[in-house]
């Protein structure tokens, strides 16, 4: 099983979502940014590193949000999401071709990666 972390980054009552670029697994699907856990890393270290690598920004990883185990045809992923606060930097897309700050009510309008869909469903019920 592959363990992956994801950031729930909220600003001005909107959450950041990113679209996977052409050539990537699930290209064109939206997701909450993050990435694979390296050996010896904590979830928090992984998420801070991945957000810096993918978006060029520094975040503080806060409370655990939820997790989802999803079985793709070729692998099983445990996706663990955490609320994060923006600390510094300017977003530069490196692994994605698009980003949007979306209201929770707008999330269902985007085609999300299957592992992220339970997060979308839960976020729609929250006020932020």
Asked if residue 118 is part of any domain, the answer here is yes
Q: Contact at 8 Å (CB) between 48 and 59?
A: yes
pLDDT(127) > 90 = no
Asked if residue 103 is part of any domain, the answer here is yes
Asked if residue 53 is part of any domain, the answer here is yes
Asked if residue 68 is part of any domain, the answer here is yes
8: domain CATH number is 3.90.79.10
Q: What's the mean pLDDT in 103-127?
A: 93
Asked if residue 128 is part of any domain, the answer here is no
Report pLDDT digits (tens) over 52-102: 999 999 999 999 999 999 999 889 999 999 999 999 999 999 999 999 999
Asked if residue 23 is part of any domain, the answer here is yes
Return the biggest CA–CA distance within the chain: 38
pLDDT at 96: 96
Domain tally, the chain: 1
Asked if residue 9 is part of any domain, the answer here is yes
How far apart, in whole angstroms, are the C-alpha atoms of residue 49 and residue 46?
A: 5
pTM across the whole model: 0.94
Question: Which domain covers residue 30, as residue numbers?
Answer: 2-123
């Amino acid at each position: 099983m592959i363990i992956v972390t994801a950031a729930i980054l909220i600003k001005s009552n909107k959450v950041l979502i990113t679209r996977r670029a052409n050539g990537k697994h699930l290209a064109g699907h939206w997701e909450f940014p993050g990435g694979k856990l390296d050996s010896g890393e904590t979830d928090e270290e992984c998420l801070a590193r991945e957000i810096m690598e993918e978006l060029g920004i520094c975040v503080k990883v806060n409370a655990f949000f939820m997790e989802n185990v999803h079985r793709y045809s070729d692998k099983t992923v445990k996706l663990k999401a955490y609320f994060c606060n923006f600390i510094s930097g300017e977003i530069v897309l490196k692994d994605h071709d698009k980003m949007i700050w979306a209201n929770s009510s707008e999330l269902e309008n985007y085609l999300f990666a299957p592992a992220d869909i339970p997060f979308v469903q839960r976020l729609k019920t929250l006020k932020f």
